[in-house]
Structures are given as C-alpha cells and as structure tokens.
Amino acid sequence: MVNKKGQRGLNYTKSAYIYLLPAIILMALFILYPLLNTIITSFKYNYRFLTGEFVSFSVRHYADIFKDKVFLRAMINTAVIGFVFVPCSMILSLAAAMGLNRVKKLQGLLTTLYYLPQVTNVIAAGFVFALIFNNYYGLFNTVLGWFGVDPVAWISGKGIAKDPALYTQSYFRCMFVLFCYQMWSGLSLKVLLFLGGLRSINPQYYQVADIDGISKWKVFTKITLPLLSPTTLYIYITSTITAFKAYSAVIALFGDKFGPAGDNSKMMITMVGYIMDKLGNYIKPGAVSMASAGAVILFVMIMILTGIQMKVTDRSVHY
C-alpha cells in the first residue's frame, strides 16, 4: 500500500513480517534455541543430562577441556584437515575444472563422474577406502608390490603403545589415508563451482590476450585467477567450515575408536568426534557440559576464522 507521498504504508511492512514468520519460527526453534541452550549447558558444572541437575554455573569445563590431551589432539587434526587438506583439494579441483572446461566431447559425462562423490554415502565410501588401504590385500599395497615395495601397514597401530617412533609413523600413514579420501570426496562440488566460475568469465579477455601473445601463465595469473576470486573465496570459506566439521570420514576409516587397530589414544579424532565421543557418555556427570563446551569453542573458532578470511581476502576479490 502506497500513500500520497509515495511511501509504503504499515500494511506492507506487516505483510512482509507475516511472510517471513514461518522461516523465523523455524530458525528460532532449530538454530537459535539449540545454540543458546548449548552455551548455557557448557557453563553447568557437573550437569546430569537425565535429571537436569548441576552443581553451579562455572567456567571450569572450559579450563578442563584445554587440559585434555584428547581435545588438543582433536584441535590439531582438525587444523590439519582445514588448513592443509582444503588448499590441496582446491588446487586439484581447479586443475580438474580447467581441464574439463577445455574438453568439448563427453564433457557432460566427465562432469557427472566428478560429481559422483557428492551423492555417494560417506560411510560406504570410507569402507571402500579402508579396503583399498588394507594392510594385506589392499589395492594400494598391490600396486606398490608391482614396483617391489613391501606391503605397508597403512591402518595399523600394532605395537605403537610402546614405541613412540611407531606411533608417529602410524599417525602419518593414517593421515595420508584420510588425505586421499578427502581429496577424492572434495573434488565433487568444488569442480562444478570452479567450472561455473570459469564459464562466467568473458571470453573476450582471452581473445585479447591471445592477440597480444601473452603467455599462458600470465593469462592464468592475471586474468583467470582474479576473475575467479569470488568463486575461490566462496569455495575456500565453505570448504574450511566443512573441514572443521569432519567426522563421518574418520568414523568410516578408523571406526569409533578414532584410530587404527591397537591404538587407544584416539590419534585421528577431530573436534566434532570429540564432541560426539563425550555425548556418548551422557550418563557420566559433566560429560554433556564438556561436549557443549567443545561445541561452543568450535563455533567460535569457525566464526573467527570466517571473519579473518573475509577481511584478508576483501581487497583481493574482484567482483
């Protein structure tokens, strides 16, 4: 409704809020309330989930969680996945997208094949990778055998409890297996997004560069990367957030012990894995509060990281 001065009346504003009300209610129920409840629960010292009883409000759980070696290990593993695996996955995805963009025949089929990991069950794919890297009859060890390399115990923690050197070797081997899985699963959506970004670049830029005889490397660094920066920023932020929530792949590869057979230290645990592990002991006093504290720390870390990424890359993104 518009008045004589051309301004929209109150009825228009009311109608807008009415249309937004269902979405606001759903967000309040499934996002805002769980978030606030998690924050409050994290301050309840010795909270008992079944009865709702707790001793007092305290920050002690936050102090205890940073003294927990398992949580510190979870933070390190999560950081490796977020800051090492994600950039490597993006580089590989960009290379694959640029290759697909040049292919004219069977492009649709190849694009579909790259997208398959996105619609594949994570647990099932993890089991397949666990078989590929099996210590005895796995495909990876079979290929190594063709070159005279002895089978490697990729997912084995036998004897690591007594030998720190074996523990370190086992950790890096397990991390390599997880790296391979993350590279495979991370290609799907990234390739499609990069491909869409490449197709949105005006081909006249490349035609002018070709006429001027500019090298392919300069075309890539001076034209492709700057014009692809909005897509790159979006992929980097969303991929990092997803990496910080890594859980299913670790469970599929290493089981609910978060490590290879023979390991009791949970060497491959992630922050979400730590939260879920604590929630599994919900009967124990304070376990849910510790899990809530871990969830709040993870939430704050993601928010800070996203803010830093937006701030740092703001000047380098060309829209």
Provide the β-strand partners of residue 56.
45
Let me know if 249 is exposed, middle or buried by CB neighbors in 10 A (0-12, 13-18, 19+): buried
Residue 123 tokens read as 């647990």
Give, for all 319 residues of the chain, the pLDDT tens digit.
445 554 555 577 788 888 888 888 998 898 899 999 999 999 999 898 888 888 889 899 899 999 999 999 999 999 999 999 999 999 999 999 998 888 877 777 888 887 888 778 888 888 888 888 887 778 888 888 888 888 888 887 777 767 778 888 888 989 999 999 988 888 888 998 999 899 888 888 888 888 888 888 998 888 888 889 889 989 999 999 999 998 988 988 888 888 887 778 888 999 999 999 999 888 898 899 999 999 999 999 999 988 888 887 766 666 5
Cβ atoms of residues 291 and 41 within 8 Å: no
CATH T-level fold of 60-313: MetI-like fold (1.10.3720)
> Residues 167, 172, 174, CA angle at the centre, nearest 5°?
90
Task: Domain ranges for the chain, please list them.
Answer: 60-313
